[in-house]
Amino acid sequence: MRDSLGFLLQVNRIAFRLFDSARSFLDELPQPGSGCLLTDIRMPEINGLELVRQLRGRGWDDPVIVMTGHADVALAIEAMRSGVSDFLEKPFDDEVLLAALRTALESGQARHQADQAAHEAQKMIATLSPRERDVLDGLVEGHANKTIAIDLGISPRTVEIYRANVMSKLQAKSLSEVVRKALVAAAGK
């Protein structure tokens, strides 16, 4: 089965690596963000669901597709609760598998890009002084400079200076970009 899937992926130009067991996969655990995992439920030593649990416990969050020849509703529910992105019952059509893989790869890549954007925004926000952070918080809440000035007990002109510093440090050209970066950073926490 593993060799057949490898051939199918090769023919369809989908990069892959084959592992002979869950243990060998865990021993050579690829970095998250590198793709998705296709695994069977029934395997020697460590079954597919236990593999998923161990991966999630290690913070590995790439998409996982589980396949099985012995599916039932309870097993499918357990798999989804374990964090798999798709559940395929054997025998399956090649196109169904390929569609599931492409969807998983696209969602994994999108999530990885969102994580990178959040990390970058968090790094930028970490460079703000405490007062600049206070001004940023006011901007995110939708307050005008005058309201922020009153809330912080400083002049509106001082708020403008802090706001310009925030925009510069966040490499933002507009207020909406500042707010978006703050929200992206907060979502990544």
> Could you give the percent of the chain with pLDDT greater than 70?
98
Alpha-carbon gap, residue 116 to 52, rounded angstroms: 23
> Is there a common fold for 2-113 and 127-187?
no
Query: For the segment 156-185, what is each residue's pLDDT rounded down to a tens digit?
Result: 999 999 999 999 999 999 999 999 999 989
Alpha-carbon gap, residue 116 to 185, rounded angstroms: 10
Least confident segment among 61-65, 101-105, 184-188 = 184-188
**Three-state secondary-structure class, residue 37:** strand
Mean pLDDT of 68-79: 75
CATH 2.40.70.10, applies to 127-187 = no
Would you kindly state where each structural domain of the chain is located, as residue ranges? 2-113, 127-187
CATH topology of domain 2-113: Rossmann fold (3.40.50)
